Amino acid sequence: MKKMMPWLITILLAVTLIVVAAFLLMDKIFPSDANDVKAAVQNVETNRMSADQIVELTAQITDIKTNLADPDYILSVDIAFQLDTAKSKEEFEKIKAIKITPLIIKAIADTKPEDLNGASGKDQISSKLVNIINKNLTEGSITQIEFTKFIMASI
């Protein structure tokens, strides 16, 4: 038994070190979506504007209806997009039907109904949409997304 004791201690120490290393590296290997959402929210900036400026820089997409990740639920939304410049709004208007709407439908199709409950759920999907759409804009960027209509219903 005395001859096996150093081996047992060495094996237990090695297993413990491997478990601790795996635990510490888990967040880097498998990043969580919560970190992405927090980063997206921090990157979005809003400035004070007059009502006329807001109207001038806001584009709308209305009547988007799609299933959620759970096929028993459907979502109907109208979305207002505030862009950073008038030029970017013009570009957005040109591509919203052929490029932006499909991106929104894909993002919503990956979302579970329970992820959209409450204000935090809507904030998360807004942040996700800002990131996805800004990558696909030809000019400028979206500074804010607001849901002007949000109806989620079971089929």
Fold of domain 39-154:
Tetrahydropterin Synthase; Chain A (3.30.479)
Residue type, 123: D
pLDDT of residue 22: 87
Domain locations along the chain: 5-30, 39-154
Collapsed DSSP state (helix, strand, coil) of residue 140? coil
pLDDT of residue 50: 87
CA distances from 149 to 54, 59, 61 (A): 18, 14, 11
pTM of the full predicted structure?
Answer: 0.66
Examine the pLDDT at 146 and tell me if it is beyond 90.
yes
Measured between alpha carbons, how far is 118 from 49 in angstroms, rounded to an integer?
Answer: 27
**Higher-pLDDT residue of 72, 49:** 72
64-115: per-residue pLDDT in tens?
999 999 889 999 999 999 999 999 999 999 999 999 999 999 999 999 999 8
Residue 73, C-beta contacts closer than 8 angstroms, at least 6 positions apart: 67, 113, 152, 153, 154, 155
